[in-house]
Amino acid sequence: MAVQTFASTTDSANTVDLGPAAALSCRECGHRVPLGPVFACEECFGPLEIAYDFSGYDTEELRKRIEAGPANIWRYAPLLPVPADVATKPNLNPGWTKLVQADNLARELGVTGGLYVKDDSGNPTHSFKDRVVAQALEAARAFGFTTLSCSSTGNLAGAVGAAAARAGFRSCVFIPHDLEQGKIVMAAVYGGELVGIEGNYDDVNRFCSELIGDPAGEGWGFVNVNLRPYYAEGSKTLAYEVCEQLGWRLPDQIVVPIASGSQLTKIDKGLQELIKLGLVEDKPYKIFGAQAAGCSPVSTAYKAGHDVVRPQKPDTIAKSLAIGNPADGPYVLDIARRTGGAVEDVTDAQVVEAIKLLARTEGIFAETAGGVTVGVTKKLIEDGVLDPSLTTVVLNTGDGLKTLDAVAGTGLTATIRPSLESFREAGLV
């Protein structure tokens, strides 16, 4: 199938089976087009997202079906743009990661209403990206693509490489050529093409957009470009899992990191769907967004009371959140304000402190993005913005093993000779 940028109403009706996904719908003007590998509205250039047909679902039957499903995201197949038999296809089966009741952290932060960490480092390639890539992969299968691609500076490259390997797709991932060697190895080990671009991440992105419009890109599914409407839906599963793991209950407050902002908007979408389907009680919840001070365009706009997000040049150790011009920024502002949440940011030093705080209280080693959410949670409590008497969920979206440099200062408590005398001298007993 030829690659298109815009959807056209002249397209025939859906010819693909992506379960309850009924059409693509423009987030801005509501214009609907059939399902296809397109991502922008032909009418207004707004972003397309999945419109579902959930009619005919009986709440209690659906709940039972989910609970009897596999211990991965496919338990929610009836709510995702995937065919009903998705669990039988080769993929990495991400999700159903632990919701850790973080009593030690709660004590340190003064949270009394229940504090939970949703720990997505438990995914196959140890970040939440496995959730979104898994959706893009099913869309790629449906549209007959044979190559899975993306631009990336880290987590996404590994997630795409691994998913493509398992599913029997060719993969071709584009990264800035001067990435750290460790990150290159993590992405290259899966055996796909890994192409270094002489330039920065913006150059990589520009090149990918060119490639999508070129015959050379035919048959290529770029997970975060022409498959983006499907890809983005993967983040809904975080909302579903949190609620089911809380006993089919909405959290009162949830703290979500912001890169493009897509994850936060889809978590809101997921919570709204659960309410509409009757799977959880309809009650208020607050969504808080977390950024690093060194890349805080959304937080800056929130604090200034703006509706528009002004781009920034990122300079932070939280590289997986370092998107200076977040596409979904305005939607994030709207959700934070509508739900009574907020958007806040923390310095790199606070990120490192928060990584260590989470590790020493709960034994969870988060990547820098997790340090951002925990750090922001702490700050919001100290500032009286987040209510410590309410049930609060904090997302950890990645693994500390991927950002070891951030805590490189951590080291030995003591160095001793192999003798009891030397041990006693060190004052460790």
- Ranges within 374-413 binding a second copy (CB under 8 A): 399-402, 404, 407-408, 410-413
Binder to a second copy among 2, 13, 304, 428 (CB under 8 A)? 428
Strand partners, 26: 48
Compute the least distance from the CB of residue 188 to a second copy, in Å: 4
Least distance (Å) from a second copy to the CB of residue 284? 30
Task: CB nearer to a second copy: give 95 or 289.
Answer: 95
Residue 370 contacts residue 397 (beta carbons within 8 Å): yes
> What residues from 236 to 295 belong to the interface with a second copy (CB under 8 A)?
none
**In Å, how far are 107, 136, 240 from 388, measured between CA atoms?**
10, 37, 23
108 touches a second copy (CB under 8 A): no
- The helix/strand/coil state of 333 is helix
92 lies in the binding site for a second copy (CB under 8 A): yes
Residue 427 binding a second copy, by CB under 8 A: no
Tokens (6 digits) for 335: 């959700």
Distance CA 9, CA 394 (A): 41
* Contact characters 159-198, a second copy, x per CB under 8 A: --xxxxxx-x---x----x---xx-xxx-xxxxxxxxxxx
In whole angstroms, the minimum distance from the beta carbon of 81 to a second copy comes to 21
CA distances from 274 to 249, 250, 280, 335 (A): 10, 9, 6, 17
Q: What per-residue string of b and e applies to 220-256 under the rule 16 or more CB within 10 Å gives b? A: bbbbbbbbbbbbbbbbbbbbbbbbbbbeeebbbbbbb
CB of 346 to a second copy, least distance (A): 18
Span 38-77, contacts to a second copy by CB under 8 A: 71
Helix (H, G, I), strand (E, B) or coil at 221: strand
Count of chain residues binding a second copy (CB under 8 A): 79
Q: Closer to a second copy by CB, 277 or 416: give it.
A: 416
CB closer to a second copy, 238 vs 358: 358
Of 67 and 307, nearer to a second copy (C-beta) is 67
Specify burial of residue 308 (Cβ count, 10 A radius: 0-12, 13-18, 19+): exposed
Structure tokens at 370: 């997790």
Q: Is 417 in the site for a second copy (CB under 8 A)?
A: yes
Residues 116-135 that bind a second copy (CB under 8 A): 122, 124-126
**Helix, strand, or coil (residue 26):** strand
Please identify which residue in the block is written with the tokens 């270094």: 196
Asked if residues 30 and 51 have their Cβ atoms less than 8 Å apart, the reply is no
- Least spacing, CB of residue 417 vs a second copy, in Å: 5
Closest distance to a second copy from the beta carbon of 351 (Å): 13
Instruction: Judge contact between 368 and 355, C-beta under 8 A.
Output: yes
C-beta of 84 vs 216, nearer to a second copy: 216
Interactions with a second copy, residue window 343-362 (CB under 8 A): 355-356, 359-362
Asked if 169 and 150 count as a contact pair (C-beta separation under 8 A), the reply is no
Which residues from 204-233 bind a second copy, rule CB under 8 A? 204, 206-207, 210-211, 214, 216
Judged by CB, which is closer to a second copy: 269, or 356?
A: 356
